[in-house]
Amino acid sequence: MAQRILTFSIFRYNPATPEIKPRMQDFQLDETPNMTVFIALNRLREEQDPSLMFDFVCRAAICGSCAMLINGRPQLACKTLTAELPETITLMPLPVFKLVGDLSVDTGTWFRQMCETTEAWIHTDVKFNPKAEEERMDNAIALDIYEAERCIECGCCIASCATANFRDDFLGAAGLNRVARFLIDPRDQRSPAQVFEVVGTDEGVFGCIGLMACDDLCPMEIPLQTQLALVRRKMMAAALRCQCQK
Amino acid sequence: MKWQDTHITEVLVIGAGLAGERVAVEAASHGHECTILSLVPPRRSHSTAAQGGMQASLGNVAMGYGDNPDVHFEDTVKGSDWGCEQDVARLFVNLAPIAVRQLSYWGVPWTRVVPGKKVLPDGREIEDLPEKEGLIAQRAFGGTAKWRTCYAADGTGHVLQYSMDSMVIKLGVTVHDRMEAVALIHDGEHCYGAVARCLRTGTFRAYLAKATVIATGGYGRIYGTSTNAVINEGTGMAIALDTGVVPLGNMEAVQFHPTGIVPTNILVTEGCRGDGGYLLDKNLHRFMPDYEPVKKELASRDVVSRRMMYHIRQGYGVESPYGPHLWLDIRHLGTEHLYTNLREVCTICGNFLGIDPAKDLIPVVPTQHYSMGGVRTNIDGDAYGLKGLFAAGESACWDLHGFNRLGGNSLAETLVMGMVVGARVADYVKEAVMDFPPTLVSDAVKKQEERVKQLMTAKGTENVYALRKQMEETLLNKVGIFRNEADLKEAVATLSDLYARSQHLKLRSNGLGPNPEVAAALRLPGMLRLALCIATGALNRQESRGSHYREDFPKRDDANWLKRTLAYWRPGADMPDLQYEDITINELPPGDRGYGEATGVTQVGD
Ligand SMILES: Cc1cc2nc3c(=O)[nH]c(=O)nc-3n(C[C@H](O)[C@H](O)[C@H](O)COP(=O)(O)OP(=O)(O)OC[C@H]3O[C@@H](n4cnc5c(N)ncnc54)[C@H](O)[C@@H]3O)c2cc1C
Ligand code: SF4
Ligand code: SF4
Ligand code: FES
């Protein structure tokens, strides 16, 4: 295969120089075997423009730092092979999240807020006893919790979600998946009704319009459709119970 | 500097990985106000990348029955090649089971025991007993007498970090991410906090605290090719060294992991070999039993890595455009096992190599992985040299690992040491008073602001990325798995030349705002100082111990070298000052590890 010269068309904006308006800038780079967008961006920074801002940490598709719009689609840049892309590659920062500069966005603040809203930690009255054996758990349940816990908070599902794009308080698929993670954990003593108070609203589960843009974009292949359905089912049940009690 | 930007807190934790968060949670649970600084949101810290698991002698699985802290202790000391502090190792093995159970209490979905008969890949039949059903399970890791590594499917580090961070959020601990500590504020006796550069705006601010904890992880990236995340540049160790009074311990002890994939250097976990994977050469021959008839692929990491490199040097490597490599074979573990317990490995292979490990061989080569060395502390976590400064996790040299860390002992160390240091810090701040010499603080901030101004206006000529590349190559080629005097001398000369040149950097961008070239330029001199500590420490140490292997001194030499290196960087110096201290050996006298090239035993294959 003849070696390609790739054109990267990259969104640029530095908050330190607000007088320079956001713009697209083109860079040329020769493609090498097994090149990823991670490799390409680092080469661009080292060889052409050292001011270029972007975020990578693990470069192994496990930390969730590097999601961006690659030719319009939210995905992890570190595991995207250039060979799978056309010669012209457009890179944009993820929408919804606050822009830090160029391709870098602040997903951390968004996810911490989501965790605070959903109180994403184990709620229990049990005290930890350092001398006791651990409480037992069925391995199947452990694996189910693990499945939901695999979310790497990359934000791809949020960026692609119509609701999240116009409601900045919507929990999104990642948020609802987080709720599901604690709903199925026997160590968490919250009842579905308590959870319902948090998510049984438009910001929560009922804001979802179910188009499933999120589902096939999750790089961890978390079955978001199933998780959303689970939360919705439990919430409906909790809502009915509340109605009956009134 | 703007005084109104100054942030005051009781406890300042630099680093939001497992170690830093565990310290903060402990101190916060004692009622103290904590602030954590991190380069990235906590859940993106490198700890999340650990796939394999953490050691604790629960003894819940068939192959772990009879395990206890004594056995764990012995494995750890042998693994360290008698380089560790034995009182620290004792404290650690006793607390590790509590740490694992506490994490379960905080929400970690540990993989649990499923009872029944099982056949191991080597044909042995075992039975997990019904009375252990539902307890936390363990898997095998290298250098251990029992199966002791607790795990959560294929993502132990990820779930540990998420559970720890959920506690940080629950307790309302303040976290400032994208905030890089660039200097400690101190007067040669006390540490008063740190100067940090905001990676969102590029501005500097002072963080003042009664206690400051360094928990910044490893420095793998100074080697260029490393299994570590790209943010692991050792800046936390570097700023401690910069004080001139805080030493770094055993910097020459650098671990290479046997199975980084070729090319990208991403790690595939030791769990692959623990679960029964083989290493094969270009003739598809399983060569490890030839060198290590007892432990085979599961000798300690330093030993397996050396055997692999030796085998490659004998001409048995598989040629590739990225240099010779060997194969990791896990096909025989079966699709179901691979896609449940080693799914991360399958994903990595699919994403970065385009192969399926159920059908294909995985190209691997030993790769820089872990720093045993770091900020030297006592058993409580107090850093040597400065009151009010502490360290924990991979950035510390507590010294649990000596010259080689056992797989699974690092995650365990972050949590156990975090617990110990957190409690110590809580005690310390109760007694300490808030007192900051104002000029000391403003001078410290000004000094950093000056550095940036200098960079933006100076007439230097040197390119930060070019110097950095040379540093990486020097370490990799001359201070790697096999070391010798000639190479090390050359490395020291090259590195000190690079260090001199790093004082004359020239930016190629405007340097405004959160500019990444400025960040790289500010880090480089500190990284070079670490590199010089590693290289000079390795040159001085005329013996082989654990991961430090000298071709010209292939034996361990307890008569002369049963001691720990302490590297200081005196103010204005251009080379580290190396001192040595005794190692605490109060239980297990130096002996034979039972694997590897061993003292007193004829060298196998070397
Ligand atoms: C691929 C891989 C797999 C591994 N698998 C295992 C395993 O299975 N079992 C095991 O026991 N060990 C494993 N290890 C080792 C283990 O994961 C690490 O040693 C451990 O997680 C380190 O934790 P830490 O908290 O000390 O540092 P890290 O998790 O690296 O955290 C460092 C923190 O410091 C912050 N930081 C750094 N510098 C600064 C600064 N200047 N200012 C502010 N913040 C800063 C970072 O943002 C980060 O939050 C593995 C390591 C690798 C590389
Ligand atoms: S299904 Fe719901 S959460 Fe997913 S993209 Fe659509 S609206 Fe968003
Ligand atoms: S659910 Fe999937 S896409 Fe959404 S943040 Fe988590 S990992 Fe990313
Ligand atoms: S850099 Fe971690 S997911 Fe891409």
Summarised one tens digit per residue, pLDDT across range B240-270 is: 999 999 999 999 999 999 999 998 899 998 8
Burial class from Cβ neighbours inside 10 Å (0-12, 13-18, 19+) for residue B172 reads exposed
Q: Is the CB of A62 under 6 A from ligand 3?
A: no
Ligand 1 binding pocket (C-beta < 6 A) is B 14-20, 37-40, 42, 45-47, 49-54, 156-157, 180-181, 215-217, 227-228, 231-232, 235-236, 267, 269, 369-370, 393-395, 407-411, 414
AA letter at B230: V
Q: Is B532 left (phi over 0), alpha (psi -120 to 50) or beta?
A: alpha
What's chain B's average pLDDT? Answer: 95
**Res. B447 pLDDT band, cuts 50 70 90:** very high
* Tokens describing residue B86: 């034995």
**B459 Cα: distance to centroid of ligand 1 (angstroms):** 37
> How confident is the model at residue A215, as a pLDDT?
82
> How confident is the model at residue B246, as a pLDDT?
98
Distance CA B3, CA B188 (A): 23
> How confident is the model at residue A3, as a pLDDT?
86
Query: Tens digit of pLDDT for each residue in B193-226?
Result: 999 999 999 999 999 999 999 999 999 999 999 9
> How confident is the model at residue A193, as a pLDDT?
86
Q: b/e map of B18-57 (b: 16 or more CB within 10 Å)?
A: bbbbbbbbbbbebebbbbbbbbbbbbbbbbbbbbbbbbbb
B176 lies within 8 A of chain A by CB: no
Q: Is the CB of A161 under 6 A from ligand 2?
A: yes
Active site residues of B: 257, 273
Please identify which residue in the block is written with the tokens 């001359």: B478
Is B602 a residue whose pLDDT tops 80? Answer: no
What separation in angstroms does the CA of A225 have from each of A152, A168, A178, A200, A205?
17, 21, 13, 17, 12
Q: What percent of chain B has pLDDT over 90?
A: 90
Is B563 a residue whose pLDDT tops 60? Answer: yes
**Res. B11 pLDDT band, cuts 50 70 90:** very high
Q: Are B566 and B579 in contact (CB under 8 A)?
A: yes
Is B357 a residue whose pLDDT tops 60? Answer: yes
Average pLDDT for B534-550: 97
B171 lies within 8 A of chain A by CB: no
Q: Given ligand 1 and candidates B38, B267, B377, which is best to mutate, with the most ligand atoms within 8 Å of its CB? A: B38
> How confident is the model at residue B603, as a pLDDT?
33
Query: Tens digit of pLDDT for each residue in A17-28?
Result: 999 999 999 999
> How confident is the model at residue B547, as a pLDDT?
96
What separation in angstroms does the CA of A171 have from each of A48, A121, A159, A162, B132?
39, 16, 12, 12, 39
Query: Tens digit of pLDDT for each residue in B83-117?
Result: 999 999 999 999 999 999 999 999 999 999 999 99
Lowest mean pLDDT among B165-169, B273-277, B538-542, B566-570: B273-277
Average pLDDT for B11-15: 98
**B411 Cα: distance to centroid of ligand 1 (angstroms):** 9
Query: What atom in ligand 4 is closest to the CA of residue B230?
Result: 1
Strands B7-14 and B204-214: parallel
B134 lies within 8 A of chain A by CB: yes
Residues of B in contact with A138 (CB under 8 A): 112, 134
Query: Tens digit of pLDDT for each residue in A67-119?
Result: 999 999 999 999 999 999 999 999 999 999 999 999 999 999 999 999 999 99
> How confident is the model at residue A244, as a pLDDT?
59
Ligand 4 binding pocket (C-beta < 6 A) is A 56-59, 61-66, 76, 78
Closest CA to B421 of B183, B181, B92: B92
Distance from CA of B176 to the nearest CA of A (A): 10
Q: Complex ipTM, two decimals?
A: 0.96
What separation in angstroms does the CA of B164 have from each of A163, B17, B22?
30, 9, 7
Query: What is the separation, in whole angstroms, between the first and last Cα of chain A?
Result: 71
What's chain A's average pLDDT? Answer: 92
According to DSSP, residue B286 is labeled B
Which residues contact residue A217 at a Cβ distance below 8 angstroms, ignoring those fewer than 6 apart?
A: A73, A74, A75, A156, A157, A160
**Res. A246 pLDDT band, cuts 50 70 90:** very low
Most confident of A215-224, A233-242, B21-30: B21-30
Run of H or E including B111 = none
> How confident is the model at residue B598, as a pLDDT?
56
Q: SS3 of B557, please?
A: coil
> How confident is the model at residue A233, as a pLDDT?
87
Residues of B in contact with A128 (CB under 8 A): 101-102, 105
Query: What is the separation, in whole angstroms, between the first and last Cα of chain B?
Result: 58
Distance CA B449, CA B443 (A): 10
